[in-house]
């Protein structure tokens, strides 16, 4: 039986606290962004697709901050791997959280995979890890939107997300996808 329960927009996001590479911690409850907290869950140091995505996020970080969005990238990696991620991926400003508990990952609706050995980057996968997900959380800690993948490919581009944030802010666009119980004739 699956223990995956999708998060519902406009409802509270799960608690999320992880240590940060370089020191300190990220605690979603302590974030105080003007507009959103962007939480990017990635697979870990072993993943070349994650490296591409997270380095893109580092490059776009000033654009998110200019819009009032606080940003963190989080994986289930151990401290040593998280500390390697920053210099090996050229990350100077992005907060890198590590030690994500897979039960917390599951509470966010993330898919979990098992190791298949070394990746094309030549790094051993951890025994179990989450697949990627991107979440915008409002300052009141409710979910605004999410994108969750079952594999490392076909992730949203951050330029598109920045354009969406501009539209949302300008139009005061509400979170969507909040319907849980469908009426009997929902397709009509």
pLDDT (tens digit per residue) in 126-165 = 999 999 999 999 999 999 999 999 999 999 999 999 999 9
Q: How far apart are CA 57 and CA 158, in angstroms?
A: 7
- Name which residue leads in pLDDT, 129 or 1: 129
Nearest CA to 108 out of 24, 181, 13 is that of 13
Of the candidates 5, 31, 43, the one whose C-alpha atom is nearest the C-alpha of residue 128 is 43
Structural domains of the chain, with CATH: 33-168 (3.40.30.10)
Q: Going by C-beta distance under 8 Å and a sequence separation of 6 or more, which residues neighbour residue 174? A: 10
- What average pLDDT does the structure give for the chain? 95
Report how far residue 57's alpha carbon sits from residue 91's, in angstroms, rounded to the nearest whole number. Answer: 10
Single pTM value for the model: 0.95
């Amino acid at each position: 039986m699956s223990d995956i329960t999708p998060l519902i927009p406009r409802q509270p996001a799960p608690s999320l606290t992880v240590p940060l590479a370089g020191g300190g911690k990220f605690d979603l409850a302590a974030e105080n962004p003007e507009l959103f907290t962007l939480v990017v869950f990635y697979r870990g140091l072993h993943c070349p697709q994650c490296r591409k995505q997270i380095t893109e996020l580092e490059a776009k970080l000033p654009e998110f901050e200019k819009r009032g969005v606080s940003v963190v990238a989080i994986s289930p990696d151990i401290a040593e791997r998280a500390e390697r991620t920053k210099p090996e991926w050229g990350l100077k400003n992005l907060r890198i959280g590590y030690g994500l508990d897979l039960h917390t990952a599951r509470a966010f609706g993330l898919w979990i995979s098992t190791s298949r050995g070394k990746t094309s980057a030549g790094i051993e996968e951890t025994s179990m890890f989450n697949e990627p997900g991107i979440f915008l959380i409002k300052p009141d800690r409710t979910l605004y939107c999410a994108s969750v993948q079952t594999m490392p490919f076909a992730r949203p581009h951050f330029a598109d997300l920045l354009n969406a944030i501009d539209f949302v802010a300008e139009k005061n666009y509400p979170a969507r996808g909040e319907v849980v119980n469908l009426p009997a004739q929902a397709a009509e």
